[in-house]
Amino acid sequence: MKVSRMALTVAFQMDPMEGLNIAGDSSFALMLAAQARGYRVFHYTAPELTWEDGRLYTVATPVKAQREVGNHFTAGEPVLLDLGRDTDVVWMRQDPPFDLSYITATHLLERISSETLVVNDPASVRNAPEKLFVLDYARFMPPTMITRSLDAARAFLDKHGEIVIKPLHGNGGRAIFKVGRDGANLSALMEVFNAAWVEPHMVQAFLPSVAAGDKRIVLVDGEVAGAINRLPGEGEIRSNLAVGGRAEKTGLTSREAEICAALGPELKRRGLLFVGIDVIGGEWLTEINVTSPTGIVAIDGFNGTDTAGMIWDAIERRLAERGQA
């Protein structure tokens, strides 16, 4: 890992440090890479943001990360940071849900984006929810419906035989249900979903090829950095590592390369430097993850690459283009 010529101050807006699973956490990997380059690293949580008199502040803690389970960081004394004046880069890395709190944080961080590089770009994050932004690339997607209507979901089931229902702004493989051809639990599921969420839900044709894996492909500033294939556990349709899936080394199919080539320029244009897309069966695009994508630790473990370093290289290039070098 190289030492940077830039002496950057970096603030990570993310979940509490105490709860990190350092074995696979991408934010932690980014912190370690930042330290190796000589950057100053701070941590804070989104609820600590304060706006006053045209300035955005937070109480942040200087941290030193170390790959030691149970003792993975050392915290200094908290300080008050003006995120526009005192930092060069702000990372927006808190996990979803993509709710009003998340959206509010994007609005606040957008107000400093002319002074400080916010990654990913907050306006673009706000305008690219994972399961809605992907609709721009419907030609690569499995048959999909966005609805709260039981009648519409029944008609979709009749058309496609087996379907999957998931929350529109869910994450980590949570609350994903398969409905069989008989539709026995469809009415109850739609009732539960409509009670739990005010927005519509994503309904997709079930893809049997999910048994062969759900590929996470990471793009850095629009370019492919690597991929892992995530295999579902026994008796599961969900392959997310957070719910017991396992990862294996993989490359890209020609169709996946085509998908990445189609997405890459738009991701770069929007300032989405670190993105993870999900592809099933080597051909079906299901999500474009821009809020807090993961997967780089597993990718680097299989490939011997340095994706965190690639991301910081991309950030340094962006800063140089902005005249902040």
Catalytic residue among 166, 215, 270, 318: 166
Catalytic residue among 126, 215, 230, 270: 230
Q: How far apart are CA 259 and CA 243, in angstroms?
A: 26
Q: How far apart are CA 227 and CA 277, in angstroms?
A: 9
For this structure, is 287 an active site residue? yes
Q: How far apart are CA 75 and CA 108, in angstroms?
A: 26
For this structure, is 289 an active site residue? yes
Catalytic residue among 88, 121, 278, 316: 278
Catalytic residue among 131, 215, 270, 318: 131
**DSSP notation for 7-62:** --EEEEE-S-GGG--TTT-HHHHHHHHHHHTT-EEEEE-GGG-EEETTEEEEEEEE
For this structure, is 238 an active site residue? yes
Catalytic residue among 115, 121, 287, 316: 287
86 SS3 class: coil
Residue written as token pair 């990190």: 20
> Angle, nearest 10°, between helix axes 307-322 and 26-36?
60
Catalytic residue among 37, 126, 215, 216: 216
87 SS3 class: coil
For this structure, is 278 an active site residue? yes
Which ranges of 212-295 would DSSP assign to H, the alpha helix?
A: 254-269
For this structure, is 230 an active site residue? yes
Question: 147, 194 in Cβ contact below 8 A?
Answer: no
182 SS3 class: coil
Q: How far apart are CA 160 and CA 227, in angstroms?
A: 29
> Catalytic positions, please?
131, 166, 216, 230, 238, 278, 287, 289
